[in-house]
Every structure is written in C-alpha cells, then in structure tokens.
Structure 1
C-alpha cells in the first residue's frame, strides 16, 4: 500500500477518535457545571434557612403556621448536607432544632410532637408527627452522645407509639376474597377524626415509622402491615392511589398523581421492589409521565416533586428495566437521570438569587426551600431514609 494512503488512514482514525471523545468530554463538562450549580444553590438555600431559624430553634411559615412540620423538614435539609449535632457547618442549626423538640415545655406524655394550642397544628398535627419522627430518628441514628441518645430514644418511642395509636382501622376484601385489616392516618388521630384517613398523611406517617425503624426504634409489624394493606385498598385498577379509603374497591381513573408517587417511596422502603403493588404504582406514573416530567406547575407541585423525586432516586437508572424487562427502550425508562434532566435546570433557575430561597407555592418559602434542598441533595446518599 502506498505510504501516502497509510497517512490518510491514520489521519482518519485519529480524527474519528477525537470526534468520538468530544461528546464524552462535553458531557463530563456539563456534569461538572451542573454539580457546581447545585452546590451553589444548596449553599444559598441552607444559608436562607439558617437566617430564618427562630432563636428557640424552630421554623415556621407566615403567621406562625406549621412549626413542627417546618422545623422537621428544614432540619432534614441540614442533615442531608452532612451536618450532625456535633459536626459540620450547620451543626448549630441541627442542635437548636433538636433542642426545640426536646424542650420540657413541648414534651407531652402521649408522645404527640405537635402543639394543639397552635390553630394550624390543632387540625393537622399528624403531618408534624410524621415529619418530626423522621427528623428525630435521622438525628438519633447518628448521635453518639449517651445522654442525648437516651433523650431522643425516649421521645422517639413515645412518638412511634402515638403514630401507631392514631392509625385508623377498617376492613378491605382483597381480590382473592380474603378480608384484611387496613389502617391509614388522617390529619388528626383516628379517635379525634372519627376514623378518617387520607393518603398524604398516611405516607408521612409511614416514612416517620420507617426512619424510626432504621434507627433501631421498635415499630410494631402489625401497624406496617395494616398501612400496606391500606395503600393496596386505595389502589385503582390502573395503578393510581385515591385520596382516601371509604370501603370497597377503588375506581379506575380516580387515582391522584402526587399520592401515587409518594406510595412508591413507601413500597420501596418496605423492600417491595419486585412485588406487584409498587410495579402497578410505577406503571401508573409511566402512563402519566407527561404529568410527572412536565415542568409546568401543577396542583400540590412541591409535594409531588418531593415524593416523585425520591421514587426516581430509588429507581436509579437501571431498576425500572429490571422491574419491566419487556420494555427494551432504555431512553423511555423512568429513573433518576430522566427526572434530573426534566427538572433540575428549572429548579436551579427558580431560586431567588438574593435570599437563596424558593418562593413558589402556597405554603411558603421555608417549605419549598426545604423540599427543593432535599431533591438537590439526594445524590449525597447520607441519610438512610433517602438511600436506595
């Protein structure tokens, strides 16, 4: 072969190699830029929460609303950064929040974490119970100080007991004909609420119980079983979760997207990756992916993104294919990277550059900022409650 042809061939090979490496380098550069943007946004958001923490350690939204839930969710944002009671950039904020929960004036013999003297908590105290238990259990799991651990353990055991006693009790007949006990949670306890329950509080209570169990706090199996049965009873034939269980079978088309996303988190937390129920919920999300992956704001947007993001993080990038092996087109799988691609850029752009807060939504910037910081920090994988 003529020597000049060898030069041509070598030149083509080199050019092809360079061209092939360029997309990889571009992707690597893009990933680094996004990580830097996320780190900056997280720092700004955490600084906003730091500045808005009350002197006694709590957070709230306008007019003193929902202090128990807000303190727990803001506290989780700092824990996800890596700070603890003793170490980290925001250890003071974590400590002040925990001290607020442990204050003698807040301790209640029945284990309730909320304050019914606050009008916004008197009618919705079970949200604070679930979020508060999740936060305190996440702190307890990392606490090494013996005295502090004992205080937290005592409070957590009472908090878990309160959640379990607050659970509703109903009956549900499964498709095979077996009747089982089902139990969810409502805005207040079953006794205070006339045995009323609904999906969003049920998910919150379940995550609180899971976090407690992860930390070594005993959680009765029967309460978890009744809750899983409850979610099954609330699942429609097309896989959606309905608002609340009134008896009988859930009707097709009545499912709600935010509740279905939240249910996936609870199913995964119970280790139900390969069972039929979570697969039905995921298939529902897949069938409604334009809703979940849309950047257009929707009803209960932050709530939906908070739980759908957790569900997609738990799926990772491969688990969907393992659960649905017949779906070969990887680009259409639900998963963490698709969620990030759909939402993170807009999420970063929506942050207020001056304050570091996110101002969207009806609840208030402490809530939205805490929820968005959770999503942006999932990749750190620090807390057991959010790990795959």
Structure 2
C-alpha cells in the first residue's frame, strides 16, 4: 500500500509539474505592460518580505495573505527551487506551515486564512522540493471537509465550527478543494456537490450572488460563484449563464471596500466563463492597474500592500496561465 501510494503521489507530482510548463500560443503573447507590472510587483514583495516569510503591513502576517503572495510568485512561472525568488517562496511556505495546527490541520485563525493558505500549498505541491507540503496539504483539506460536515448549510463560514455559511468563505474553500484535487489529492465529489448547492441557494433571479442568501447580490460575490461553477465544469445551466450575463454588465465596476479582492475573482471568473469578455476586461484591468501601481511596485490601499499587490498580480496572472487552477 505504501509503495502504491508513493507511486500515485509521484505521478500526481509529475503531472502537476508538467502543467507548469505548458507554453503559451505564439499568437497570444503577454502584453509588455503586464510583464512590467508583474516584475515590479514581485520585486516589491521580495524586498519587503521579512525573515519569517510574512510581511509587516496591516494584513501581511496572516497566512492567507502570505499564501496569495506565494501563489503570485508561482503564477509568474518562477522556479520555486532554484530561481530568483526561490528563497521568497520557501520562506512564505515555511511561514504557512508554521501556522498550521498539527492536531487538526487548521491554518491561521479564520477560514479565509485557511482557504487561501491551502490554495498555496496545493499550487506548490509537486513543484516545490519540500516533503512537509504533502502531509500539511492533506491535513488542511481534511479540515475543510470536516468543517463542512459540521455546518448545517453544508458549506463554510469564519471558523471550522461555524454552523452558518456565506458565499465568500465558501467560495474560498471550494477553490482550495479544486486546487487540491488538481494536485492529485482525493476530494469527495459529495463535498463539491454540497458546497455548490449552497452557492446556488444564494443566487438571485438576475444571476447575482448574495452574501448569505439570494438577496443583495453583488459583482464580487457573483464572480466567486461563477468561478466555482467554472471549475466544476458546470457551465450549461441557466443559472450559470444568467450569472455570466450579470458580470458582463459590470466591467466598469470597482469594489470600494475590497477592490483587489474583486479584481482577483473577476479575472478568473471571466477567463473561465467567457474568453471574449475576459479579453475586454483584461484590457481595462491592465489600464486600471497600471495607473494605480505605486512607484515602489506595490498597490496602495487600506488592506495592506502585500494583500493589494498579490491580488493585483493574480488578476493579471491569467495572461501567463502557468498554474493548474488557471487551466480550462
């Protein structure tokens, strides 16, 4: 059994690694402006990362934010073992691993942190030469699954013991579970089915998603819902199409409270759901982010430069498509 498990994990790692090397089409080059912004953004994150692997701004010590920063390096195709930013990636992952509760697998102090940290472990699995990642990822996935089982909505909210749910936390966990499955870990179909059913109950008649119910729909929440359905390959239903139609009308929208969180999800949702609309959105997003980027390479805002910069870079990362979670 041990040999069989080792062989299956090796195969998953191999396939995962191959996915990182898929070339872009010659007729689909990365815009030079994106390269410039990405280079400056990564240089900022590398320069201001502390020795523990986190950042010293308002949210930079949260493992979920560190996870997004790590994913930003990986999304640029950086070699995590020997490349320019290998030490930064290693430090970030080591910080995430240090924040995991060894008894139950919980990372950080909220399911937001846990979900984004799990996503980083899943994207690093098979790429980074660190034997601690596989067992940590398994524990993290098990924590997400056990939290869902305890939740009366069969979804997720702020803590593993929450009995209610919302679409932001639930979407975060679903994306992490899809990334873990892509990495080769077994995740029960039932977990996805129940999580998506909760998300569907929060979708209104106009296709928009609300926070804890079908009322009060918002573009950011709808982008999360569309991304989850896209990763599930469930694009044929009327609900999906109505949600995509809703997002098509929001190309000029900017979330006043969490602008870079919106950018992060909107880019992925449109990329998976509607390539033509994504092309238009991508052009707008490049112009918007190019004017908002600070001279030091970061993006400003009250959530902290590390979170803002990671969110901005990951909204541009669809131009590269190195990560498995970005594959259609």
TM-score by length of 1: 0.72
1:57 is matched with 53
Greater relative CO, 1 or 2 (CA 8 Å, sep 6+): 2
SS at match of 2:217: coil
The answer on whether the counterparts of 1:136 and 1:152 sit within 8 Å (CA) in structure 2 is yes
1:328 is matched with none
Tell me if 1:308 matches 2:248.
no
Q: Structure 1's 262 and 295: CA in aligned 2 closer, same or farther, altered over 3 A? A: closer
Q: Partners in 2 of 1:316 and 1:89 — Cα distance?
A: 34
Map 1:1-388 → 2, pairs under 5 A: 35-62=31-58, 66-103=61-98, 106-114=100-108, 121=109, 125-143=110-128, 145=129, 148-149=130-131, 151-167=132-148, 169-170=151-152, 182-189=153-160, 191=161, 193=162, 195-245=163-213, 250-251=214-215, 254-286=216-248, 289=249, 292-294=250-252, 298-317=256-275, 335-353=277-295, 355-360=296-301, 362-388=302-328
The answer on whether the counterparts of 1:60 and 1:67 sit within 8 Å (CA) in structure 2 is no
**Residues 46-97 of structure 1, C-alpha deviations (whole Å, 9 max, x = no match):** 01100111101123532x6652111101101100111243132211111111
The answer on whether the counterparts of 1:295 and 1:346 sit within 8 Å (CA) in structure 2 is no
Shift of 1:338: 0.9
**Runs of at least 5 residues in structure 2 that lack an aligned partner in the other structure:** 1-27
Q: Partners in 2 of 1:134 and 1:156 — Cα distance?
A: 9
Number of matched pairs: 300
Q: Structure 1's 106 and 260: CA in aligned 2 closer, same or farther, altered over 3 A? A: closer
The answer on whether the counterparts of 1:239 and 1:283 sit within 8 Å (CA) in structure 2 is yes
**Residues 248-305 of structure 1, C-alpha deviations (whole Å, 9 max, x = no match):** xx34xx212210111111100011122333222112223xx1xx21165634322222
Shift of 1:387: 2.1
Q: Structure 1's 108 and 208: CA in aligned 2 closer, same or farther, altered over 3 A? A: same
The answer on whether the counterparts of 2:60 and 2:304 sit within 8 Å (CA) in structure 1 is no
SS at match of 1:377: helix
TM-score by length of 2: 0.85
SS at match of 2:234: coil
Q: Structure 1's 66 and 231: CA in aligned 2 closer, same or farther, altered over 3 A? A: farther
The answer on whether the counterparts of 1:66 and 1:128 sit within 8 Å (CA) in structure 2 is no
The answer on whether the counterparts of 1:137 and 1:215 sit within 8 Å (CA) in structure 2 is yes
RMSD over aligned CA atoms reads: 2.1
**Runs of at least 5 residues in structure 1 that lack an aligned partner in the other structure:** 1-30, 115-120, 171-181, 319-334
Q: Partners in 1 of 2:204 and 2:76 — Cα distance?
A: 38
Q: Structure 1's 307 and 67: CA in aligned 2 closer, same or farther, altered over 3 A? A: same
Shift of 1:228: 0.7
Higher-Rg structure is: 1
Shift of 1:341: 2.5
Q: Partners in 2 of 1:61 and 1:233 — Cα distance?
A: 37
Q: Partners in 2 of 1:297 and 1:131 — Cα distance?
A: 20
Q: Structure 1's 77 and 109: CA in aligned 2 closer, same or farther, altered over 3 A? A: same
Runs of 4+ more than 6 Å apart: none
Q: Structure 1's 220 and 297: CA in aligned 2 closer, same or farther, altered over 3 A? A: closer
Q: Structure 1's 107 and 44: CA in aligned 2 closer, same or farther, altered over 3 A? A: same
